[in-house]
Structure 1
Amino acid sequence: MADGINVELVVVRHGITAWNLERRYQGQHDIPLLFPDAEEGLLALKDALISERFDAIYSSDLKRCQQTLEWIQAAKPGMPHHLEPRLRELNFGEYEGKVYDELKDLPHYRAWVDSVGELQIPGGESAAQLRTRLEAWLSDMAIDARKQGYRKILVITHGGVIRELRRRFETIDFWEGAVLQAQGRRWQLTHQAGVSGKGEWLCNCSSAVPVPVSEPS
């Protein structure tokens, strides 16, 4: 078996959009950030990451993620930046652009909620399909990390993606995996490549990004 490699993975959600505030299912619609509402969270995230040096960045190719990356100024000259469609939000199909009150009486929507996202959305994806594309990306990221020597990686993505990655690495319940806009998780990972070449990512520890402010004693 090949030697393992250690990778620090910092995964953050994009900043606030108008559809976030309106509580609309955003999915893969290319909705931009909303200013000035997004600014406070983005500046806090920028401050949290300003002193960190990443070996590479992977980001969803949707506009709100690209704007987030530009605002937090984490990309340095010469740093590899991979635009990655597999890091897009879950495809919400017929639910995109709609709010709960518009959907709550639809039998297929109620069934989807009761399934904790496991059912396939009409015209969209299931949680299993999202997990499949994320696993494919994780496998390719392992190859990149080994070939290019990446040991600290920044990822700009979406809430549903982070929820699934938290279930993958932190083994928590679906409802516990949510993160707010311009926030995310930091994972210390080890990748052990098997004889088949596919290998496996294992999580050693996780923490919030930015680090929560301590409550006064």
Structure 2
Amino acid sequence: MADGVNVELVVVRHGITAWNVERRYQGQRDIPLLFPDAEEGLLALREALASERFDAIYSSDLHRCQQTLEWIQAAKPGVPLRLEPRLQELNFGDYEGKVYDELKDLPHYRAWVDSVGELQIPGGESAAQLRERLALWLADVAKDALAHGYQKILVVTHGGVIRELRRRFETIEFWGGVVTQAQGRRWQLTYHPGDCGKGEWLCNCSSAVPVPVSEAL
């Protein structure tokens, strides 16, 4: 356990849902994908990942992420798949199912927006609570990578999760971490085990998934 491990982490957001189209806070509600609207993005993501082979796959256990994983056809025989509740979206509590116009005049909502997510949502989570469960999940990813030799891992999750991972690995500000549906990020990471089981992830580089057309030319 003394040596570090290099891991390529490909993290993608689920496809479009009706609540995405309606701009409703979706959170941990188990909303399915919206077809045919979701199809174009999912097919583009499938094509982008078609030639890639993953050592392991982690997915949020919410239905829209499992549907996305099925559509992009990245799960292959013999590749371990873990459905992971800790990869669920931020719990938006009282805001779930609502749109901005329904919330904009509420003092607690305005305070939450001004705090860039650091305040706890009534009946839901704060950004710090999301980061805490993601840190626990990343610790388990490190254990799995060290134990099984995983070098390339696919993750299917939600926009808020990717935002927090970008803040961690890319050190960008809150509003800069948005990714659209059926898109994501690729990180080249190194994990260094530490004393008392407290290791450290270092990001060597990051890029968009799929690669933007302007960069692919």
Q: Indicate the TM-score class for this superposition, using the shorter chain for normalisation.
A: over 0.9
Letter in structure 2 aligned against 1:29: R
| Equivalence map 1:120-139=2 (5 Å) | 120-139=120-139
Gaps of 5+ in 2: none
Q: Write the deviation string for residues 26-56 of structure 1: whole angstroms up to 9, x where unpaired.
A: 0000000000000000000000000000000
Q: Deviations over 1:161-194 (max 9, x none)?
A: 0000000000001000000000000000000001
Q: Which runs of 4+ in 1 moved over 6 A?
A: none
Partner of 2:45: 45
Partner of 2:98: 98
Give the aligned partner of residue 64 of structure 2.
Answer: 64
Provide the residue aligned with 2:146 in structure 1: 146
Match of 2:33 in 1: 33
Give the aligned CA root-mean-square deviation in angstroms.
Answer: 1.3
Partner Cα distance (2:11, 2:18) in 1 = 22
* Length-normalised TM-score, structure 1: 0.98
For residues 162-201 of structure 1, the aligned pairs below 5 Å read: 162-201=162-201
Does the C-alpha gap of structure 1 residues 169 and 216 become closer, same or farther in structure 2, counting only changes over 3 Å? closer
CA distance in 2, matches of 1:4, 1:73: 31
For the structure 1 residues 215 and 83, does the alpha-carbon distance in structure 2 shift closer, same or farther, using more than 3 Å as the test?
Answer: closer
Unmatched 5+ stretches in structure 1:
none
- Contact preservation (8 Å) 1:12, 1:182: yes
Aligned partners of 1:173 and 1:181: how far apart in 2?
20
Find the aligned partners of 2:46 and 2:124 in 1 and give their Cα distance: 33
Alignment partner of 1:109: what SS? Answer: helix
Paired residues, number: 217
Q: 1:79-124: CA deviations, max 9, x gaps?
A: 1000000000000000000000000000000000000000000000
Cα distance in 1, alignment partners of residues 90 and 121 from structure 2: 10
Q: Name the aligned partner's letter for residue 75 of structure 1.
A: A
What corresponds to 1:80 in structure 2? 80
CA distance in 2, matches of 1:216, 1:61: 32
8 A Cα contact 1:2 1:195, kept in partner: no
Measure how far apart 1:134 and its partner are. 0.2
Offset, 1:195: 2.3
Aligned AA (2:117) = G
1:36 is aligned with what amino acid? P
Rounded to whole Å, the distance in 2 between the matches of 1:13 and 1:83 is 15
Secondary structure at the aligned position of 2:213 is classed as coil
Residue 2 of structure 1 and its aligned partner are, at CA, apart by: 1.5
Q: Quick one: distance in 2 between partners of 1:174 and 1:106?
A: 22
* TM-score normalised by the chain length of structure 2: 0.98
